[in-house]
Amino acid sequence: MPKILFEDSSIIILSKPAGFAAQSANVGQKDCVSFLKEHLAASTSRKSGEPYVGVVHRLDQPVAGLLVFAKTKEAAALLSKQVQNGVMNKHYVALVEGIIDEPDGRQLCNYIGKDPKTKNAFIANSPEESIQVREAKLIYRTDKILRDKNETILSIDLITGRFHQIRAQLSHMGHPIVGDRRYGAASSYPNGIALAADRLEFMHPLSGEKVEKIVDFSFCL
């Protein structure tokens, strides 16, 4: 189940486990939104109507990590603007197949789109290859090399936020995320894939002060 890390009158920050949906269209399926609505309904005195939970950004269901939700429409609008303007910073950690030795960091840039049939992201060689592609950028750095397992732990900063961006870009460079069979991984991982959003930074929608949350996700199993 998700774990609430911070809550005030405007926002809730929680840690989502791998395999748990941020928001689901399936009736009856437990997700972060329904979890938070139940929490708010139980912790506040309400005369009628269900509590408001504003979805600001998402994580793929197989991905663990930090999410911030808004408790008011005003907070949701301000946080969404931060996402659109690149003010909200999201950092990830990933365990990938193969050895990557880039301790100083390297930028990865591709053109990425979404296949309407497979629902997977794809990498294009150029923007002219498909009218549906957009530029995707991230910076990755080697945190630890696990030579006995032929795996590498990467630190990843997103510059753009495209559909399945990290998963598709790492797979395209020949290093799929452990457990991500959808993008070519040969190995499995408990309850999801070995990718987690471990740090989240943004400006508080009410006070304007910087908010930073960090959670340690260990992939050294």
For residues 57 and 210, give the distance between their C-alpha atoms in angstroms, rounded to a whole number. Answer: 18
Count CA atoms closer than 13 A to 206's CA, side-chain side: 11
**DSSP-derived secondary structure for 102-123:** -TT-EEEEEEEEE-TTT--EEE
First-to-last alpha carbon distance for the chain, in angstroms, is 21
User: For residue 208, what are the CA distances in angstroms to 5, 88, 204?
Assistant: 19, 13, 5
Residue 78 host element (H or E): helix 73-84
Chain position carrying tokens 């290859």:
129
- Identify the active-site residue in 60, 104, 115, 198: 60
Q: CB burial class (10 A; 0-12, 13-18, 19+) of residue 202?
A: buried
Is residue 216 part of the annotated active site? The answer reads: no
Which residue numbers are catalytic? 60
